[in-house]
């Protein structure tokens, strides 16, 4: 009699576990669908927008040296035939050539081999202009 009660409790526990697992997976799917739709047309944000900054910014950009105090982040999701673009643009940069050198060194120190990553579908760009510098990462989603 005790064994049957233990089996029933175990079956009941597995039922609860299965329901919780299903709910968790459903929530993950909804969150990913929301996030994909949220960035599909492109999203511009600043570090002060903590939700976008912490959930949308890749680590390589998040940990990049602070080139200036004025940074604008951008992400645009791609579908299977386009690129996912992630970018940070620093404006009001005092010494643009020095900032470019700092970012190149940062990529090397971070273990980013730009040529090897290019072959895998990731493209890294450092784009200087007037008093701005951008670090751009383009990731091929499938057929690029």
Given CA atoms 66, 68, 70, 75 in this order, what sign does their dihedral have? negative
Query: Do 68 and 107 sit in the same domain of this protein?
Result: yes
Q: Render each residue's pLDDT in the chain as its tens digit; 144 residues.
A: 455 666 777 777 777 877 787 787 776 666 555 555 555 667 899 999 888 898 889 999 999 999 999 999 999 876 655 778 899 999 999 999 999 999 999 999 999 887 778 777 788 999 999 999 999 998 887 766
Q: Could you tell me the two tokens for 136?
A: 């751009």
The total domain count for the chain is 2
**CA of residue 66 relative to chain centroid, distance:** 18
My answer on whether 31 and 45 are in the same domain is: no
Angle at 9 between CA 7 and CA 10, to 5 degrees: 65
Domain hosting 36: range is 1-40
Q: Are residues 13 and 57 in the same domain?
A: no
């Amino acid at each position: 009699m005790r064994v049957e009660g233990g089996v029933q409790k175990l079956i009941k526990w597995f039922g609860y576990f299965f329901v919780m697992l299903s709910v968790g997976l459903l929530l993950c799917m909804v969150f990913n669908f929301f996030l994909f739709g949220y960035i599909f047309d492109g999203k511009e944000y600043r570090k002060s927008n903590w939700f976008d900054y912490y959930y949308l910014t890749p680590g390589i950009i998040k940990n990049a040296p602070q080139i200036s105090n004025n940074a604008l982040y951008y992400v645009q999701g791609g579908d299977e035939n386009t690129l996912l673009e992630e970018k940070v643009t620093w404006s009001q940069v005092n010494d643009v050539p020095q900032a470019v050198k700092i970012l190149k060194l940062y990529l090397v120190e971070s273990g980013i081999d730009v040529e090897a990553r290019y072959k895998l579908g990731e493209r890294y760009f450092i784009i200087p202009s007037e008093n701005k510098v951008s670090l751009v990462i383009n990731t091929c989603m499938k057929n690029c």
